[in-house]
């Protein structure tokens, strides 16, 4: 089997580390691995698959000879993706920089793999919450036209990076010992006001837009339409940060143009790649972050008719947003390209 020269930009962060875990776990065929990060992390040593790698500072010249560049996300994407493409690499980017660019495919491989073939050097990974939701929507969309989606998310603190997880841990420890917790990260580190996340929920992820939705909510709306290639979809979202370390959960209400049977919906979801149906109310079996953390598949349950509307269903979906919501989705795009000789 041919092997590929791979670079990981953001190798020391949570998504970068998950890239490494998955490359080993999935036996991704690489001949060279270049670990890149900011100047702060340059020089750090990372042991991986029996070899020690030194993290390099990312520069415009870091991508010479690279076939596949996996970008973990962040502001560096916009700066360095053009240099990587110019050097001949295919960039699979986890940031929001290129997602809504009409020239850049936005891809979930189980949902719209055909879009990969349209790339011009950059392929965008969707927002983590979008990836999880569309994996539940696509099998239903294939049964009947979807008119409207109402989604509320329950997003883990690791979505805010290692700092979000550390802050939750520190706050729980402080409160458990009778001390006042410090809040410096959530909802948004750069904003003037921060709230405790321990034993609390924060109904803000990212900044507010002019329409009073948050940027995260608008990402879910706009990205879903692009992935499904259906601008007629009506979607509304409310995104909430919850005191869970890992795995996002979402409550999704779907209204169809025609009747969809519960049995038909259940069968379609169960048969869809990357999705596990965990739905047995009588045995109290349903998806939870506890079950999906560290897993490659998302889980769907609590499937039921909406008693308040015609042709509508509700479901609950959970997925590991660092795995399938970020690193795994990007790596699956690379695997698809290798399998179809697109790289």
pLDDT at 231: 97
Whole-number Cα distances in Å, 96 to 79, 101, 256, 300: 13, 10, 29, 26
Q: Which of 263, 274, 328 is nearest to 299 (CA)?
A: 274
pLDDT at 1: 83
State the 10-residue block means of pLDDT for the chain, 343 residues long.
96 94 97 96 96 97 98 93 98 97 98 97 97 98 97 96 94 98 96 98 98 98 98 98 98 98 98 98 98 97 97 98 95 97 92
Residues annotated as catalytic (active site), given as ranges = 128, 248
- Report the C-alpha gap between 176 and 168 in whole angstroms: 12
Fold classification of 4-126+326-339 (topology level): Rossmann fold (3.40.50)
pLDDT at 28: 98
Domain with CATH 3.40.50.720 in the chain: 4-126+326-339
Domain with CATH 3.30.360.10 in the chain: 130-322
* SS3 state of residue 208: strand
pLDDT at 312: 98
Exposure on the CB side of residue 220, measured as CA atoms within 13 A: 30
Exposure string over 66-102, b if 16+ CB within 10 A, otherwise e: bbbbbbbbbebbeebbebbbebebbbbbbbbbbbeee
- Report the C-alpha gap between 157 and 169 in whole angstroms: 10
Give residue 215's Cα distance to chain centre: 15
- Start-to-end Cα distance in the chain: 13
pLDDT at 162: 86
pTM attached to this predicted model: 0.95
Please give the DSSP secondary-structure letter assigned to residue 264: H
Contact between 99 and 92 (Cβ < 8 Å): no
DSSP 86-148: HTTPEEEE-SSSSTT-TTS-B--TTT-GGGGGG-SSEEEPPPHHHHHHHHHHHHHHTTS-EEE
- Report the C-alpha gap between 116 and 114 in whole angstroms: 5
pLDDT at 119: 97
Q: Which of 310, 299, 190 is nearest to 255 (CA)?
A: 310
Fold classification of 130-322 (topology level): Dihydrodipicolinate Reductase; domain 2 (3.30.360)
């Amino acid at each position: 089997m041919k092997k590929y020269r791979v670079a990981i930009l953001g190798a020391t962060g949570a998504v970068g580390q998950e890239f490494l875990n998955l490359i080993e776990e999935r036996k991704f065929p690489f001949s060279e691995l270049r670990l890149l990060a900011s100047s702060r992390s340059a020089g750090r040593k990372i042991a991986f698959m029996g070899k020690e790698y030194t993290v390099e500072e990312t520069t415009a010249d870091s991508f010479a000879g690279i076939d596949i560049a996996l970008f973990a996300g962040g502001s560096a994407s916009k700066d360095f993706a053009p240099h990587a493409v110019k050097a001949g690499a295919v960039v699979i980017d986890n940031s929001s920089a290129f997602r809504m660019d009409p020239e850049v495919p936005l891809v979930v491989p189980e949902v719209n793999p055909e879009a990969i073939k349209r790339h011009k050097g950059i392929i965008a990974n969707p927002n983590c919450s979008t990836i999880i939701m569309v994996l539940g929507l696509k099998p239903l969309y294939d049964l009947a036209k979807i008119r409207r989606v109402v989604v509320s998310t329950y997003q883990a603190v690791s979505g805010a990076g290692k700092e979000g997880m550390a802050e939750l841990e520190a706050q729980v420890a402080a409160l458990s010992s009778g001390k006042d917790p410090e809040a410096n990260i959530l909802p948004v580190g750069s904003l003037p006001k921060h709230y405790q996340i321990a034993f609390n929920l924060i109904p803000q992820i990212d900044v507010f837009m002019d329409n009073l939705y948050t940027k995260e909510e608008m990402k879910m709306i706009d990205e879903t339409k692009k992935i499904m290639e259906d601008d007629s979809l009506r979607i509304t979202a409310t995104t909430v940060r919850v005191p869970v370390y890992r795995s996002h959960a979402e409550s999704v209400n779907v209204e169809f143009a025609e009747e969809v049977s519960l049995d038909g919906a259940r069968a379609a979801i169960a048969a869809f790649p990357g999705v596990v149906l965990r739905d047995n109310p009588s045995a109290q079996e349903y998806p939870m972050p506890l079950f999906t953390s560290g897993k490659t598949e998302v889980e769907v349950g609590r499937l039921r008719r909406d008693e308040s509307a015609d042709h509508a269903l509700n479901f609950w979906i959970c997925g590991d947003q660092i795995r399938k919501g970020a690193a795994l989705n990007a790596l699956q795009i690379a695997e698809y390209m290798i399998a179809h000789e697109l790289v």
